[in-house]
Structure 1
Amino acid sequence: MTIDAASPHQADPADVSPLRDSARRTLQIEHQAIGALADRLDSHFDHACELMLACQGRVVVTGMGKSGHIAGKIAATLASTGTPAFFVHPGEASHGDLGMITPGDVVLALSNSGETGEVTAILPLLKRMGTPLVSMTGNPESTLARHADAHLSAAVAREACPLDLAPTASTTAALALGDALAVALLEARGFTAEDFARSHPGGSLGKRLLLRVADLMHQGTRLPSVPMGSPLRDALLEMSRQGLGFTCVVDVQNRLIGVYTDGDLRRTLDQHTDLSQLSVDDVMTRPGKRIAPDLLAAEAVRVMEDNRITALAVVDEEGHPVGALHMHDLLRSGVI
């Protein structure tokens, strides 16, 4: 008898899998936990948003254990969507880090039980400073909820953990409620894609939303250009010298009249047997694709893709070439 080593990977998808059954139960419980949040939103959510919108300082997010991990993520989401925020560990707050919190801040405190000692320990100090407090708990009658200016209920019917012990559905609900809070604030502030990019300058999204054509274009002596009436040979030499796959063709006022590209060269070779007598005017593309220097580099990508070209002339308002942009420049910059 032989054993097919690949057989474990060829099992019928309909076969019973305890592992998949467990995963489905977990996802279903957490799905229900998140769905229940919408029905519990009330005026406290509005007040929490109003406190954060009026905040002159930062939103200080705190929580212990698993709630602390969720609090850190919520702080990061708030900060990247227009609400300045940072995380403070509640244990460290009682040992000096409370000095990071000012009366002009708003504190968002997470605790599923609402009785976490490290969190409730800082409540008297927050009251003394007059710092507004927003709580997010699973128990609206808890110490943390009762002392808050606004309470957000993240209660769940049960944890996904079969022992109903490990924070699973409760942390998922808190995370989703934090996202709901961040998005509501984002929309209330009129936060735009460019605003988002300013806090993500190192990522590909930031580059697509911040980099402009002028930041990437070749200019000065790196701008390929020949005057109208030039022999085709001169245009080919200019293309070879600059290595951008095209050259601008300009009139006596240095305005862009057309371009001559690698594609034009292939068409020229197909249609003409003697290139020595040709002028660039005879075979160039008029008026040629062009773009303004102040447009986003992402717009240059769209123009290139729509027209199936790899380079663009960059022109000013009077039609004078001021730069040249190649697809390779966009690739190197991370825009693509």
Structure 2
Amino acid sequence: MSRLFRQQALEVLHIEAQAVQQLEQYLNDDFEKACQLILSSQGKVIVTGIGKSGHIANKIAATLASTGTPAFFVHPGEASHGDLGMLGKGDVVIAISYSGETAELLTIVPVIKRMGLGLIAMTGKPHSTLARLADVHVCVAIAKEACPLGLAPTASTTATLAMGDAIAVAVLDARGFSADDFALSHPGGSLGRKLLLRLSDVMHQGELLPRVHRTASIKDALLEISQKGLGMTSVVNDDGSLAGLFTDGDLRRILDQKLDIHQLAIEHVMTVNCITAKADMLAAEALNIMQQKKINGLLVLNAQRQPIGAMNMHDLLRAGVL
């Protein structure tokens, strides 16, 4: 029985993959016109559909909204009972129906046309009523559904979703939408944290910053490392500028040399040319540096090369960057 499950599943995946691949033939002038209509819109994009097409429409609206195109989903049944009031001047409507004959959509088309809004139809039937009434028709026709009965929307909804993604990403690229722009619409998730968080947001500073003078003994430096709990301490000159860095890894190395930690000054064993960062550096960038250099922490310096902060991998982990 399990073999039959796998065989049927493989058939479904094959049919749906083929349906998506065949969409390439529909990346034509009509596709470009649809993208241009969305790009030049002075208002919002309203995506609408019913049933399975409604679920796909909802997701396409969400993708557009998260990639720089203000968009939302409107249920066509609710639209004809008041929700058309959400539409305004300069808006563009994307109506999704594989048959192109969905009654609830055709009911609201005259209102959309009377308002002078752009109408993009996504159907699998280029000669359908919805396709003919639209300003632009984007075809999503498939050879067959993955459902063995040929009834449940499967390959058709997959193809429509993929075409919606193609439109959203094409428009995103044309807008010059950046990673920072993306982060602004995703501030609550891990993507937003990775793209927006800066070292100034996560670094230890003030009394929490580990710091000793270059003439301090190794013992004093170890006490500072222990008290501040970052596994390292900055070493500074008389003017507060950075002289070097001492880590618990350095400690392990000097213990092998049997040095006198009570008398020897930290300046004799510190790392002089250590890697540092600025407070406005993105936390994601700092993470990349630390991983490449195989280090566990960074000192943050100001313009006078004075340590103003310190952070380690645990700070990035707590902030959700790692």
Q: Give yes or no for TM over 0.5.
A: yes
Q: Count how many residue pairs are aligned between Structure 1 and Structure 2.
A: 322
Q: Is the Cα–Cα contact under 8 Å of residues 215 and 266 in structure 2 kept in the other structure?
A: yes
Aligned to 2:61: 75
1:196 to 176, 182, 188: 182
Q: Distance in 1 between matches of 2:304 and 2:292?
A: 25
Equivalent residue for 1:261?
Answer: 247
Counterpart of 2:48?
62
Partner residue in 1 for 2:28: 42
1:100 to 78, 86, 92: 86
Shift of 1:158: 1.7
| Cα distance in 1 for residues equivalent to 2:144 and 2:199 | 54
CA distance in 1, matches of 2:4, 2:289: 52
Name 2:138's counterpart in structure 1: 152
Contact 2:217–2:261 (8 Å) recurs in 1: no
- Quote the sequence identity (%): 59
Structure 2 residue ranges without an equivalent (≥5): none
C-alpha distance in 1 between matches for 2:168 and 2:5: 34
Which sits farther off after the overlay, 303-312 or 241-250? 303-312
Q: Does 1:19 align with 2:19?
A: no
1:24 and 1:260 mapped to 2: Cα distance? 57
Q: Distance in 2 between matches of 1:121 and 1:253?
A: 77
The 2-side partners of 1:70 and 1:259 are apart by 55
1:316 aligns with one of 267, 283, 302: 302
* SS of 1:121 mapped into structure 2: helix
**CA distance 1:273–1:228, shift in 2 (3 Å):** closer
- After TM superposition, give the deviation of residue 273 of structure 1 in Å: 4.7
Cα pair 2:46 2:93 within 8 Å, conserved: yes
C-alpha contact 1:107 1:131 (8 A) present in aligned 2: yes
Which residue does 1:330 correspond to in 2?
Answer: 316
Report the secondary structure of 2:69's partner residue.
coil
**SS of 2:95 mapped into structure 1:** strand
User: Are residue 183 (structure 1) and residue 169 (structure 2) matched?
Assistant: yes
User: SS state of the match for residue 75, structure 1?
Assistant: helix
Report the TM-score, using the length of structure 1 for normalisation. Answer: 0.92
Using structure 2 for the length normalisation, give the TM-score: 0.96
The aligned counterpart of 1:280 is 266
Q: Secondary structure at the match of 2:223?
A: helix
Q: 1:207–1:335: 8 Å Cα contact kept in structure 2?
A: yes
* Higher mean C-alpha displacement, 233-242 vs 277-286: 233-242
| C-alpha RMSD over aligned residues | 1.5
- For residue 118 of structure 1, the aligned residue among 89, 104, 121 is 104
Structure 1 segments unaligned to the other structure (5+ residues): 1-7, 10-16
Letter in 1 for 2:151: L
Counterpart secondary structure, 2:220: helix
**Which residue type is aligned with residue 63 of structure 1?**
G
Q: Does the CA contact (< 8 Å) of 1:257 and 1:288 recur in 2?
A: no
What are the Cα deviations for residues 81-120 of structure 1, in whole angstroms up to 9, with x where unaligned?
Answer: 1111110000000111110111221000000111101111
Separation in 2, partners of 1:52, 1:72: 17
2:191 matched residue in structure 1: 205
